[in-house]
Structure 1
Amino acid sequence: MKKWYAIYTHAKWEKKVATLLTRKDIENYCPLNKVARQWSDRKKIMFEPLFTSYVFVRITDKEYLSVLQTDGVLNYVSWQGKPAVIRDAEIELVRNFLLEYSSVRLERLDVEVDDTVRIKCGLFMEQEGKVMEVLGKSLRVFLPSLGYAMLAEIPKSNVEVVSTRSRGELLFILLFYYQLLLS
């Protein structure tokens, strides 16, 4: 069964690694961001890697070593000592997002468990809650102000930290998967 993984590449080797993997018949995805660059005499549309030094591969266990033996590949992105598996839905979300938007920016948001955050956009805009879990690029946030406890998975880009490390009591949990909504 094939699974998606992220691999580290040498700096500025993302496109080249993707080409080399394709030549080896290894399914890969290098998300490219459409950006306009201004030169002194003209503007040019360019496609740059969205994630610097990362390429995604969808492989079986048998292809694992072949990926590492590709020029420009440094290692797999790991989580708790094992290569981190990426859900198909997350890869599709990136693909669809890049089809709809250009000049996308990535921002890293330092959030920890028990931080209080405010949601900046989407269905729960302006609601505050406590971070229960950090899941890569999203958070599980406890939202008590709706009259009952709700646990929402929210992209980090949609929250801002209000206060850090305060303890909260969890009464009831209703799992709600909040999808990425950007305006």
Structure 2
Amino acid sequence: MNWYVVYTKPKWEKKVAERLNTIGIVTYCPLITKVSQWSDRKKIVSVPLFNSYIFVQIDEKKRNEIFEVTGAIRYLFWLGKPALVKDSEIEIIKNWLSVPEEFEVAVDHWKKGDKIVLESGPFVSQSAVIREVKQNHYILILESLGCVLKVNKKES
């Protein structure tokens, strides 16, 4: 089955995912924890990683079943077709969210332009190109994911 991206009402991501799960549709709503500040207190809350989006794994023929749930607005489209997300991309998000905030990446003796494969952290097994080498950090380009990663050097 394919993973699709569903656009939801704002702030309804968790509700829609929960309701879709109760009717038997596999969903994934990646959550992060953050500290919210109010005038009188701070509170740790879980918020969706992607505002107004959840992932659903559903058969092509049953795609309209998600609209039985209040809060599900529409599918995200790419080039005129519903956007598909690969299982490997969902796993990358899950792995990325499961690692601690701080982790070690060994990048000791490399220079600008070197191609490497990350051996730890949320982007393990991803290939990268070193774009910058600074005194206290490296800038890596993860071409397969289309993003730039800043890695702080560990102080000895």
Task: Give the TM-score band, short-chain normalised.
Answer: 0.5 to 0.7
Letter in 1 for 2:16: V
Q: Once structures 1 and 2 are overlaid, which stretch shifts more, 3-12 or 65-74?
A: 65-74
Q: Structure 1 unaligned runs (5+)? A: 103-117, 128-140, 142-151, 159-180
Q: Distance in 2 between matches of 1:99 and 1:44?
A: 21
Would the alpha carbon gap of residues 101 and 5 (structure 1) be closer, same or farther in structure 2, given more than 3 Å must change?
farther
Query: TM-score by structure 1 length?
Result: 0.58
| Structure 2 stretches lacking a partner, 5+ long | 102-112, 119-127, 133-140, 152-156
Residues 29-178 of structure 1 aligned to structure 2 (within 5 Å): 29-101=28-100, 123-126=128-131, 153-158=143-148
> What displacement does 1:14 show?
0.4
Corresponding residue of 2:14: 15
Cα displacement (A) at 1:40:
4.7
Q: How large is the Cα RMSD of the aligned pairs? A: 2.7
Q: Which amino acid aligns with 2:45?
A: M
Runs of 4+ in 1 over 6 A off after TM superposition: none
Question: Which amino acid letter does the alignment assign opposite residue 3 of structure 2?
Answer: W
Percent of aligned pairs with the same amino acid: 41
Structure 1 58/182 Cα, relative in aligned 2: closer, same or farther at 3 Å?
farther
- Offset at 1:84? 0.9
Counterpart in the other structure of 2:25 = 26
* Superposition deviation, residue 42 in structure 1: 4.3
Q: Note the C-alpha offset of 1:73.
A: 0.9
Give the letter aligned to residue 131 of structure 2. Answer: E
Name the count of aligned residue pairs: 121
Most deviating of 92-101 and 5-14: 92-101
Give 1:44 shift.
2.2
**SS, match of residue 11 in structure 2:** coil
